[in-house]
Amino acid sequence: MDELRRVVGKKADEFICDCSNWVKEFFPLKSLNWSKMDSGAKERLYKKIRSKYDLPDMVAGANVIEALSFQCFMLYKHWRFRLKEQYFRNNKVNTENKLNQTETPADGAKSTARIFHELMNVQQTQGTQEHEGSSDNPLETQQDPLYITLFEKTKKHKDKGFEPNAEKDYDALRNLHEKEVEEHGEDTLSVKAAYMEVFKPKSGYVKGLGPGARPPKKRRVEGETDEVRVALSAEIQQLKEDAATREGALLYQIESLKESNEELKTSMKSL
C-alpha cells in the first residue's frame, strides 16, 4: 500500500478513499474469502481505479494488478472488522443501558395487574412505617380497603365519573365494607374474597377462558367400594335367578306346545 501511495503522490489520501468506497460498491459482505470473490468484479474495480489514476504496469518490482489486489483485500478486511467492532460495541452499550433501567416503561394505560402490584407496595410501605413508628414524612393512612381503591383506579375516569354500570358495583363494594366493619370491627377481606362476594363467580366462558380443565373423577373410599361390589353381586345374582325362572317357564310352554301338536297329529290320522 505504501508503494501505491508513493506512486500516486499528492492524491494518496483521495486514492485510498476512492479505493475504499469502490470496494464497498463492488463486493458484497457475504463473501468471507477474498480469493473467492467474483473475478469479473475484481477486473472492473481495477479498471476503474486505473482509469482515474495513472498507474504504471509495475510497482516496486511487482505487477500493478497484484498490488491493487493486495490493497483492496486489506481495505475489504478492515471494512468488515470495523462493522463487526461497531456491532459488538453497540450491543454492549445497549445491554448495559437495559440493565441500568430501574423501571420498565409502560405504553398506554396501566394494566389492572400493575395497578394492583403498586397498591400492594404502597400498603406494605405504610405497614412497615407504622410498625417502626416512623414520624418522618408520614404517608397518609389508607382509609378504604384495597379492593375499593383498586376498583376506583381501574373503573373511575379522570373526570371523576365511573364506567357504565360500574357505579352500582362500587356502591355494592362500599356496602360490603361497611357491613364488615359493623360485624367484625374491621374489614379484613382480601381483594379476591370481596370481588367473589360482590360480583359472584363467573364461568370460564364469561371470563374468556374457555370451558377449563375437566373436573377430577370422584374416587370412592375402600369401604364404599366393598359395599358397592356386594350390592352389584346381589343384583347380578337376582338377575340370573330371574332369567333362569323365565327360561324354565319358556321350556315348559315349548313342551306343552309339542304335546298339543302330537295330539293334533294323532287326531288327524284317526280321521
CA distance 227 to 233: 10
Q: What is the dihedral of CA 20, 21, 24, 27, to 10 degrees?
A: -80
Q: Is the pTM of this model over 0.85?
A: no
What sections of the chain are H helices per DSSP?
2-8, 12-26, 39-52, 64-100, 112-132, 146-155, 166-184, 191-199, 222-270
- Which region among 79-83, 107-111, 165-169, 227-231 has the lowest average model confidence (pLDDT)? 107-111
Mean pLDDT of the chain: 77
Residue 79: CB atoms within 10 Å: 15
- Which region among 33-42, 152-161, 211-220 has the lowest average model confidence (pLDDT)? 211-220
263: pLDDT strictly greater than 80: yes
Residue 201 phi/psi, 5° resolution?
-65, 140
Average pLDDT over every residue of 201-229 = 64
Identity of the amino acid at 159: D
Higher-confidence position of 82 and 6:
82
Identity of the amino acid at 176: L
Residues 19 and 74: beta-carbon distance below 8 Å = no
The DSSP element (H or E) to which 38 belongs, if any, is none
Identity of the amino acid at 7: V
Average pLDDT over every residue of 242-261 = 90
Name beta bridge partners: 59: 62
Which pLDDT does position 236 carry in this prediction?
92
Q: Which of 28-42, 43-57, 122-136, 236-250 has the highest mean pLDDT?
A: 236-250
The pLDDT tens digits for 172-181 are 999 999 999 9
DSSP label of 58: E
Q: Helix or strand or coil: residue 263? A: helix
Residues 119 and 150: beta-carbon distance below 8 Å = yes
CA distance 213 to 196: 20
What are the residue ranges spanned by the domains of the chain?
2-100, 112-142, 143-212
The pLDDT tens digits for 9-66 are 777 778 778 878 888 777 777 666 777 777 788 888 888 877 777 776 776 666 777 7
Which pLDDT does position 139 carry in this prediction?
40
Radius of gyration, CA atoms only, the chain: 47
State the pLDDT confidence band at 141, using cuts at 50, 70 and 90: very low
- Which region among 55-64, 111-120, 134-143 has the lowest average model confidence (pLDDT)? 134-143
Cell numbers describing residue 188? 379484613
